[in-house]
Structure 1
Amino acid sequence: MRTGTRAAVVCALLCAATLPGPSALAYARQVAQAPPAVSVTVAVTDGTDDAEAGRRLDYRVTVHNLGTEDVHGVRIEQRMPATTTAVTAADGVVEGRGTEERKVTWRADLPAHDIQVFTAEAVLGDRPAGAATAAPGTLRAAATACVYLGGSYAPVACSGDVDDLPESRAEEADGGGWAWWAMAAAVAALLAPGAVRAVRRRRAAGPGTTG
């Protein structure tokens, strides 16, 4: 009886020692809840480097899951250029109206090694008054695309596309320059005959003559 009792006590102690404590259980829960490591890339392009007011831009957002695990609940967001006046997107949700920032959101699952393409169309408007230019006579029309996991606000990948948007006031500046030269030519034409007559009178009077 004593031998059996001692064996039971030792077994109980060994079993208790092998059971996870509170800290071990908490760590296990954190590991189970942590999102899996992902390797995702994104690229956005409209196929051109130049744009202008009233032109439609066809954007392609390409998302590639480089990992060996499926990624579920992916959110893809594309922010349109500041001058955008209209947006359409297949299978996407468009946000923003009027002068507000335009954004398109898609949701998808990415199987391992999968590549998916999302498309959107944007129409650009006139440049905003007083906007700073990135180069003389031009304004940048920039769009960005980012990939998020679930409800996270920290992207796992981002990409951008930039186009040169001609400044609408460039023609007005050129027109003002031509107008100045035309006015100068007209003034010269009016003054030229009087100057010629003055030179002729001075030559006819001979050297040394004044008054």
Structure 2
Amino acid sequence: MVALAALDGTACLLMLSLGRHAVGMLAPLAVQMDALTQYPPAAGRKLLMDFGAGQGYEGQELRSSLSYLLAHYEQMGVHFDEVWAWEPRPVNQSTYWQGVPPDVKFRLHLYNTGLEGDTTSPAHPIQYIKQNVQAGDFLVIKLDVDTQSVEIPFMRAVQADADLRSRIGEILFEMHYIHQDMPWFIGYGDGISYNDALNLFHSLRHEGLRIHYWP
């Protein structure tokens, strides 16, 4: 069982009564409204980090998360100044870049490597965020690498560090857990319960972080 932030009894009962749809929904109304008044941001850089971006950009597989996110945020008026993409599976560099639009190529940094589980490592993106993302910047993170030993330490670091959270505008996270509704998570969500997932999302939203379940 993964130890995550606890909720009071009322919140737990509310989540259980709502069922699986509670993931990504629960947060004090004041927190939600305050977050919405700050979105999209008026100043600062717009930054996107996609962990688990796919082996192709567009057309080589069912629409990649990266191409989807860029188009989705563009529709909401957010044009990312810089984009980082990590993909641990082999990527054909020539084919990949052929599918990337010209206006994206000069903003995109592609890393064909996985993330390590040690978030304190100087090479971990969390350390880059803490050192380089400034107040006023708007950073979006999508985390879906199908590896608990990477994802859980990443989210624990976010949960434990208020300064780190203040540098993140929005997180989209596919948290793998064991539940009858998610049979395809077998092998990925071992040791994590449905309530663990609810608790994590609720606690981070309670702290004012915009976090959504991906996809």
TM class, shorter-length: under 0.3
Higher fraction of helix:
2
Higher fraction of strand:
1
Relative to the length of structure 2, the TM-score reads 0.22
